[in-house]
Amino acid sequence: MIALRCLEGVFGPSNEITNDIPSAPDLKIGFNSSESCEDVLQRILREMSISNLRMAGPELLKWDVRPFIMHKRTCLPKCALEQLKDGILEGTHPSAAFFSQRHINYKI
């Protein structure tokens, strides 16, 4: 999870890397979705210095990481709070009846 967050921090949508020259998809280095986030991060760090990552230089343009990040993000399990909420709303959580009853009592 930490490696995914690092990749998102460098290559995520908040990173404003601009490229005046349209990049050819053939020249970008992509990653197999079966690779781990740690392996992808290590591969990038072996080829780039950390200072280049911090400055979001043009060297970042050769990496096609966003599809990899998006795939990994969709494969993450739901956090415990989301699971609890879904279980209560679906009625599958053991305390769903209790929470539903309390919700009904507080309706205005």
Q: pLDDT digit string (tens) for 15-62? A: 444 444 445 555 788 999 999 999 999 998 888 877 666 666 667 778
Residue 25 CB partners (closer than 8 Å, separation 6+):
64
Residue 46 CB partners (closer than 8 Å, separation 6+):
none
- Percentage of the chain modeled with pLDDT above 70: 69
Identify the weakest region by mean pLDDT among 9-18, 60-69, 85-94: 9-18
Whole-angstrom distance, CA of residue 39 vs CA of residue 65: 12
Residue 48: C-alpha distances to residues 33, 61, 70, 97 (Å): 21, 12, 22, 55
Q: What are phi and psi of 49, to 5 degrees?
A: -85, 155
Give the model's pLDDT for residue 63.
86
Token duo for residue 22: 């349209």
